[in-house]
Amino acid sequence: MTRDAVVVVGQLVASERRRQRRTAADLAERAGISRDTLYRVERGDPTVAIGTALEVLVLLGVPLFATDADGLARQVASGRQLLALLPDRVRPDTRKPDDDF
């Protein structure tokens, strides 16, 4: 699934860049990356940093999680609230399952 997700991101970048008739050189410059890195994003290379791929999507105007900045800010706040309720550290469960029926 991870590999497919990375490929989908690359397809989104490639199709939107072409739809907007933007050159790879222009978009790479705006993103602060090399043209080769942009091509790796478009090919779905899983070794490209996630921040780089997300930055390119944002520059192209592709909605990520929310349709506007306020919605994304609400998602961030909601995630912080959820994480505040969960323990900071997780220890492995050492209990033995009781499967003696």
Domains in the chain: ranges and CATH: 1-87 (1.10.260.40)
What is the model's pTM?
0.72
Q: How confident is the model over 49-74, as pLDDT tens digits?
A: 999 999 999 999 998 876 777 887 88
CB under 8 Å to 27, separation ≥6 — which residues?
17, 38, 56, 59, 60
Tallying the residues shown for the chain, one arrives at 101
What does the pLDDT read at residue 49? 96
pLDDT at residue number 95: 81
Q: Is the pLDDT of residue 31 over 90?
A: yes
Please tell me the predicted confidence (pLDDT) of residue 76: 80
Looking at residues 66-94, what average pLDDT do you find? 81
